[in-house]
Structure 1
Amino acid sequence: MAYTDRYSLQLSTTSDHAAERYRAGIDLLLSLWPGAAETLEEAITADPDFALAHAARARLHAIGAEATEARAKIATAVEIVARNGTERERSHVDVLSLAINGQSAKALASALAHADRWPRDILILSLPLGAFGLLAFSGMADHDQARVDLCERHARHFDTDDWWFLTYRGWAHGENGNLLLGRSLTERALELRRNNVNAAHAVSHVMYEAGAGDEAEAFITGWLPGYDRSGILHGHIAWHAALIALERGDTDRALSIYNEHVAPSASTAVPINVVSDTASFLWRMQAYGHAVPAGLWDEAATYASQYFRQAGFPFADVHMALVAAATGDKIALEQRANALTNLVEAGNLPAGPVVPAICRAALAFAEEDYVGCVTLLEPVASEAVRIGGSGAQREVVEDTLLVALMRSGEAAKAQALLHRRLRRRPSPRDTRWRDQLTSV
């Protein structure tokens, strides 16, 4: 009997149970719902020669920052698929192997080519998409538009109510500025599959970007308790609620959420999420003029010191720089910035000079050299998109520039930036800042 996945693509397995467990495991993996690992392991147990089950398990290890396990599993998949796989399956495994072994540029090119031939191979199509996808971390300045273009190019291959495609298509449009469409698509995806972390995350984003803070907080409060704390994005979705509380000036609420869900001692997320969420929350809190309780920065620094020691991963580099700047580790920050500059000069950092500039601007800001911070950051702030992540995550860069403008006496420039931000979305914090500048 020939077996297929949910999109009618052939699966080279001899086991009905393996095929069923694979289909279920892929759905869990691509909705980031707990249970994917166990389900995929059941597929492997049912058919140890099922290459795509090994490949999917490798992908899940990679998402969980389990690099050694991911490389071992994908090596097994490569060996099996060479003797027992279709052309599509061999290409599928090859793309994942490139991504898991750190060949991101080749993986992106191969994933796009694969999607052109087999657009309904959703595990591969998912690789360029998302806040931490291959496009976001490519260093491109137009990766938000590139995600939209990719989704629209292949939209005709998916049913109107395909929960997976609705999730990623909605995310792409929301991050690219089409908030109404993004919200419509992601909310529909969540209606179709409630246990869909990526859809819940995307809904939180589009609400935040639209300035619908109360709605976003109510949504997160209602949805998050049904998602196990061990889930990879549990702390990050709570981080969104903490930012909303911080934006309206409710520091008690913001800190309560942070301490319960986001802090290193509370979160079970992967290191990149823990480092970025803790650093950006505490940095914002301090930049907005609120006191960060004693010990929180030290806890964040202790955790971060275990990871991302080598420069060259721009999203991590920027957040490591925030931690170093806030805790006075000037030597570590300057070493990272210098290493990044060397990578830029050697042509080995696609994101370019914006990365070391942000790092050095963070140090200037922490040392209260606001003029110096503006001098470093103003020329490159529009290029912050190159570091990857989401708009909400990168906003910490613009927040830093805005506060530096206000504190360096550049009221006209600060007002102009606030005007642009408030045209984009309502914000109680930005409104307060605008009123303060107007009354001076």
Structure 2
Amino acid sequence: MTADRHGHTMTDTGAEALGHYEQALEDLLFFRPRIEEGTQALLRAAPRSPIGHALAAYLGMLGTEEAAAAAARATFGAFRAGLDTDRLTPRERMHLAAAGAWLDGDYRTAGRILGEIAVAHPRDVLALFAGHHHDFLTGDALRLRDRVGGALDAWDEDDPHYGPLLGMYTFGLEENGHYEHAEQTGLAALERHPHDVWGIHGVAHTYEMRGRFADGARFLDARTDAWSDGTLLTVHNWWHYALYTLETGDTDRVLEIYDAAVHHEDSADVAMELIDAAALLWRLYLAGDDQGVRWASVADAWERRADGPHYAFNDAHAVMAYVGAGRLARAERLVADRERWLADTPAGTVPTNRAMTAEVGLPVCRALLAYGRQDYAAATDLLLPVRHRLNDFGGSHAQRDAVQRTLVEAALRAGRHDLARTLLSERSWLRPVCPYNWSVKARLEERAGAPERAAAARERAQAQAQAAGVPRTA
């Protein structure tokens, strides 16, 4: 038997395959597109490698791609048929159980087992990475932080993988509101590995959440070569850059970024990138900015995918695209399809996506559709009960803010000024530097017949946008 660099025994995995595995872990940690090729090289060298098959299974789930998950499930099932698990190490058996549960749609069991692996083997990079991104996809902020934090004491700071772990921990800290600690941890990660795009991503989040838009842009500008091209996270980090720019009111620059990097004719129809495209255009839609041609392209991409009920967070962004493109009938069909699926799938059973869809995903989709119909009262009533549970269908605070903004806009347009005032009070006390918050406050005060307060709020929004001053260097 061979062992990886951290001493974990690997059954049916020879020296050649071990080399491919170590390289695959590096590619995984740094979001290099060649990770798929490396994983296949590993399995060609060791077709019966349990850890190789676990890695391939995790890759099938991490992108939230229904077709990739189905292919991974078939390959994994064929591997497990007739497998003598008594020959495997306890760690390998746990990985296979976690991967199998995840492929079967049982996210909770997969997350629990990955946590058990990390307790028994805190230097298992594959378990920590898969678990961390599982927590992101299920919106479990506490585990997103503590899964990695609980393992760090077992690591030597000179270990080459210690830096990427700090990058993961950065994101967990940020999603729990520890912004300064997250920033410093992320910068420490980048001192070790300047091309750690997940660490860059985590620090970018801290600037967004604190309203430090110019600082965020300067941070990304200083590292353009590390994140702006050739990684699996390139589009998403450009999306963060566009969010900084959006707060300054420079819509032209936002659309330049969108067209060049977020979505264009050469873009792949992958869910994670289409989410970014829809979420960015939706923010413009809420501001009354019609981007019909761009919406049509994104809606076409979602239609080509023809996704089934695989991941509720994706469904919501598909509905955004259909509504933005004026394809309300298509949005209605997606909602009806998910309703039929729920009716045919008993409550309380796997897949976990059933609960995600029933409890959060469908209410959000229905609200987005109601907003598109200009039924703002219905949109408000649908979103209000789930606004504190949006994390249950995945994503980050920054991503879910598109839905939170929809509730604010719907309440304002429905004439529910008391509710809008409460929502804006919450937002502005939590994020006092956010031009969007103050510009909506100005509109609220105008509708409430308070021109002086409206002018003061508008002045504050303009001052914050001017102070952001996102440069045009990237």
Separation in structure 2 between the aligned mates of residue 6 and residue 159 of structure 1, nearest angstrom: 13
8 Å CA contact 2:228, 2:237 repeated in 1: no
Matched, 1:405 2:418: no
Any idea what SS the aligned residue of 1:128 has?
Answer: helix
What is the letter of the counterpart of residue 439 of structure 1?
A
Q: Counterpart in 2 of 1:185?
A: 185
C-alpha deviation, 1:304, in angstroms? 0.4
Where do residues 356-435 of structure 1 align in structure 2 (5 Å cutoff)?
Answer: 356-425=362-431, 426-435=433-442
Structure 1 window deviating more from structure 2 (78-87 vs 326-335): it is 78-87
Question: Are the structure 2 counterparts of residues 34 and 341 from structure 1 closer, same or farther at C-alpha, using a change threshold of 3 Å?
Answer: closer
Question: Are the structure 2 counterparts of residues 188 and 71 from structure 1 closer, same or farther at C-alpha, using a change threshold of 3 Å?
Answer: same
C-alpha deviation, 1:342, in angstroms? 5.7
Separation in structure 2 between the aligned mates of residue 59 and residue 424 of structure 1, nearest angstrom: 36
Q: Counterpart in 1 of 2:249?
A: 249
What is the letter of the counterpart of residue 414 of structure 2?
S
Q: How many residues align?
A: 431
Q: Counterpart in 1 of 2:461?
A: none
Question: Are the structure 2 counterparts of residues 17 and 160 from structure 1 closer, same or farther at C-alpha, using a change threshold of 3 Å?
Answer: same
Separation in structure 1 between the aligned mates of residue 294 and residue 124 of structure 2, nearest angstrom: 43
Q: Counterpart in 1 of 2:448?
A: none
Structure 1 window deviating more from structure 2 (84-93 vs 207-216): it is 84-93
C-alpha deviation, 1:44, in angstroms? 4.3
C-alpha deviation, 1:83, in angstroms? 7.5
C-alpha deviation, 1:274, in angstroms? 2.5
Q: Counterpart in 2 of 1:150?
A: 147
Question: Are the structure 2 counterparts of residues 88 and 329 from structure 1 closer, same or farther at C-alpha, using a change threshold of 3 Å?
Answer: same
C-alpha deviation, 1:339, in angstroms? 4.6
Separation in structure 1 between the aligned mates of residue 415 and residue 403 of structure 2, nearest angstrom: 19
Where do residues 265-304 of structure 1 align in structure 2 (5 Å cutoff)?
Answer: 265-268=265-268, 271-292=270-291, 294-304=292-302
Aligned identity (percent) is 26
Structure number with higher relative contact order (C-alpha < 8 Å, ≥ 6 residues apart)? 2
- Counterpart of 2:115 (choices 103, 112, 115) is 112
C-alpha deviation, 1:261, in angstroms? 0.9
Q: Counterpart in 2 of 1:70?
A: 72
What is the letter of the counterpart of residue 380 of structure 2?
V
Structure 1 window deviating more from structure 2 (385-394 vs 212-221): it is 212-221
Separation in structure 1 between the aligned mates of residue 434 and residue 245 of structure 2, nearest angstrom: 11
Separation in structure 2 between the aligned mates of residue 81 and residue 121 of structure 1, nearest angstrom: 23
Any idea what SS the aligned residue of 1:379 has?
Answer: helix
C-alpha deviation, 1:430, in angstroms? 1.9
Separation in structure 1 between the aligned mates of residue 80 and residue 219 of structure 2, nearest angstrom: 42
Matched, 1:217 2:232: no
What is the letter of the counterpart of residue 216 of structure 2?
A
Question: Are the structure 2 counterparts of residues 159 and 4 from structure 1 closer, same or farther at C-alpha, using a change threshold of 3 Å?
Answer: same
What is the letter of the counterpart of residue 401 of structure 1?
L
Where do residues 19-34 of structure 1 align in structure 2 (5 Å cutoff)?
Answer: 19-34=18-33
C-alpha deviation, 1:323, in angstroms? 1.8
Separation in structure 1 between the aligned mates of residue 94 and residue 84 of structure 2, nearest angstrom: 9
Separation in structure 2 between the aligned mates of residue 68 and residue 342 of structure 1, nearest angstrom: 21
Superposition CA RMSD, Å:
2.8
Any idea what SS the aligned residue of 1:322 has?
Answer: helix
Separation in structure 2 between the aligned mates of residue 55 and residue 23 of structure 1, nearest angstrom: 14
C-alpha deviation, 1:126, in angstroms? 2.4
Q: Deviations over 1:93-139 (max 9, x none)?
A: 33223323434333223222333322322212322323xx2x3444x
8 Å CA contact 2:169, 2:185 repeated in 1: yes
What is the letter of the counterpart of residue 188 of structure 1?
A
TM-score, L = length of structure 1: 0.87
Q: Counterpart in 2 of 1:88?
A: 91
8 Å CA contact 2:194, 2:226 repeated in 1: no
8 Å CA contact 2:328, 2:372 repeated in 1: no
Structure 1 window deviating more from structure 2 (145-154 vs 379-388): it is 145-154
Q: Counterpart in 1 of 2:325?
A: 327
C-alpha deviation, 1:400, in angstroms? 0.6
Separation in structure 2 between the aligned mates of residue 50 and residue 284 of structure 1, nearest angstrom: 46
Question: Are the structure 2 counterparts of residues 62 and 360 from structure 1 closer, same or farther at C-alpha, using a change threshold of 3 Å?
Answer: closer
Q: Deviations over 1:183-237 (max 9, x none)?
A: 2222222221222222122122122112111122223334344447443221111
Separation in structure 2 between the aligned mates of residue 23 and residue 77 of structure 1, nearest angstrom: 21
Separation in structure 1 between the aligned mates of residue 146 and residue 60 of structure 2, nearest angstrom: 29
Matched, 1:129 2:132: yes
Separation in structure 2 between the aligned mates of residue 49 and residue 356 of structure 1, nearest angstrom: 41
Q: Deviations over 1:404-427 (max 9, x none)?
A: 222233334323322322222211
Structure 1 window deviating more from structure 2 (309-318 vs 72-81): it is 72-81
Separation in structure 1 between the aligned mates of residue 124 and residue 307 of structure 2, nearest angstrom: 35
Q: Deviations over 1:129-157 (max 9, x none)?
A: 23xx2x3444x7xx212333333433332
Structure 1 window deviating more from structure 2 (314-323 vs 349-358): it is 349-358
TM-score, L = length of structure 2: 0.81
What is the letter of the counterpart of residue 71 of structure 1?
R
Matched, 1:240 2:240: yes
8 Å CA contact 2:228, 2:238 repeated in 1: no
Structure 1 window deviating more from structure 2 (112-121 vs 240-249): it is 112-121
8 Å CA contact 2:380, 2:407 repeated in 1: yes
- Counterpart of 2:307 (choices 306, 309, 316) is 309
C-alpha deviation, 1:280, in angstroms? 1.2
What is the letter of the counterpart of residue 113 of structure 1?
E
Q: Counterpart in 1 of 2:472?
A: none
C-alpha deviation, 1:305, in angstroms? 0.6
Q: Counterpart in 2 of 1:350?
A: 355
Any idea what SS the aligned residue of 1:33 has?
Answer: coil
Where do residues 41-52 of structure 1 align in structure 2 (5 Å cutoff)?
Answer: 41-52=40-51
8 Å CA contact 1:158, 1:165 repeated in 2: no
Structure 1 window deviating more from structure 2 (88-97 vs 76-85): it is 76-85
What is the letter of the counterpart of residue 168 of structure 2?
Y
Separation in structure 2 between the aligned mates of residue 101 and residue 21 of structure 1, nearest angstrom: 27
Q: Deviations over 1:352-379 (max 9, x none)?
A: 4332221121122112222222222223
Separation in structure 2 between the aligned mates of residue 309 and residue 36 of structure 1, nearest angstrom: 24
